[in-house]
Every structure is written in structure tokens, then in C-alpha cells.
Amino acid sequence: MYKKICTQCHQPSFSSCNSGTWICPVCDFDITNSKARTAESPTNVVSLINFTKYKQSTSLTTMKNSSINKLV
Ligand SMILES: [Zn+2]
């Protein structure tokens, strides 16, 4: 598994192979010429998914708090 950090938006992207054109999934920037790092363990992917979940739960909490504030 390979990992590249986008040179434009600095977001990591992952691919199973390091051949052919590599387009950043976040901003569609061509990062084919960027250096790929090997990411043998899927830890980075898992932490990325957990981070997304964390962000979602945080926004939910914020929504709850704001509705409580309106009640008060
Ligand atoms: Zn990007």
C-alpha cells in the first residue's frame, strides 16, 4: 500500500499500487510526480476513518449544545 501527501491541499491519499497517474481524491490535483511512501500497515487509514467519525460526533454535539442554548 502506498501513501502520498498532496502538494496542493496536504491531504494524504492511499493507493494499492504506485504506477500510473495519481490524482488527489480531495482536490483533483495531479500528484503523480510526488514521492510515494509505503504504508504497509493500515493504521493510517484506520486513524483517518476514526478522525472522520470523531469530526462527525463533534458536530453532532455542537448541534445539541446550540439547541440547548436556544431553549435557555
Ligand atoms: Zn489535494
Per-residue pLDDT reduced to its tens digit, 29-60:
999 999 999 987 555 555 555 555 555 555 55
Residue 24 sits in the same domain as residue 5: yes
Residue 7 sits in the same domain as residue 30: yes
- Residues of the domain holding 70: 48-72
Residue 30 sits in the same domain as residue 57: no
Residue 4 sits in the same domain as residue 31: yes
**41 CA → ligand 1 middle, Å:** 22
- Model pTM greater than 0.85? no
Cell of 11: 491531504
Residue 8 sits in the same domain as residue 29: yes
Q: Residue 30's pLDDT is what?
A: 96
**30 CA → ligand 1 middle, Å:** 8
**DSSP string over 31-56:** -TTSPPEE--STHHHHHHHHHHHHHH
Residue 35 sits in the same domain as residue 53: no
Residue 23 sits in the same domain as residue 52: no
